[in-house]
Amino acid sequence: MIEFQEFAKIPRYRREVCLTEKLDGTNAAVAWHPVGDNTKEWSQDALDSIIATRTLVDQHQVELGQYHLLAQSRQRFITPARVKAKSDNYGFATWVDANADELTKLGPGVHYGEWWGYGIQRGYGLPEKRFSLFNVNRWGEGKQPLPECCHVVPLIGYFGPDQIGTQVERLRALGSLAAPGYKRPEGVVIFHTQSRQYYKILLEGDDIPKSQAFKATDAVLGDA
């Protein structure tokens, strides 16, 4: 059967964008999934990757039920060594395991962010690793209370598209907002509010694949 396929509406470009600093680490996520009959539909890999089980509550301290805690990299579930050997990614799952109780404050769902700092990509001169959540509209300053173990990617501000270039150069001049004093920030992430789409601009090598850009700067950065 042939079905009619409508051409999608085109969002208007000249709408507000949200700019945040792009951190050079590794993509990660903390996931709280409800315990229940739907667990029967989980893959064996997901079941084997459960780190902990906790009772979650909402902002009014009303119990929401029990939830399984999982950790993710960009492409897979990851686990600390006590759950599954050689499955972690730069120690993120081990960090999730150690902070399971505090991470209940994130609530149900999958919470994406960047795992960055010591020993990951450019390192930013930090002595430790940090997890910075992406959703500034939920976790930014003055928003929902943040778990003490978490950070939020720095919000540069809300602008028209014609101001993006100016803000990119401002970041280049000032250095990293996430790690003050570090002079080689990676770039910015742009969230276009009407299209609901993310874009990124790199301060170095924006016109070539990241793998090539990293090779070109690896000797300068000194953090592989």
The whole-chain average pLDDT of the chain stands at 92
CA distance 209 to 22: 16
The model scores a pTM over 0.95 = no
Model pLDDT, residue 211 = 63
| Tens of pLDDT, residues 13-49 | 999 999 999 999 999 999 999 998 777 789 999 999 9
Residue 117 pLDDT: 98
Q: How far apart are CA 92 and CA 48, in angstroms?
A: 17
**Residue 222, pLDDT score:** 38
Residue with tokens 């999934």: 33
Domains and CATH numbers, the chain: 17-221 (3.30.470)
154 three-state secondary structure: coil
Which one, of 75, 79, 55, lies nearest residue 65 by Cα?
55
The whole-number pLDDT of residue 214 equals 53
Residue 159 has pLDDT above 80, yes or no: yes
Q: Is the separation of the CB atoms in 171 and 21 below 8 Å?
A: yes
Residues in the chain: 224
Percent of the chain clearing pLDDT 90 (strictly above): 81
Find out whether 108 and 32 touch, Cβ atoms under 8 Å. Answer: yes
Higher pLDDT, 141 or 132: 132
Say which range, 83-87, 105-109, 161-165, has the weakest mean pLDDT: 83-87
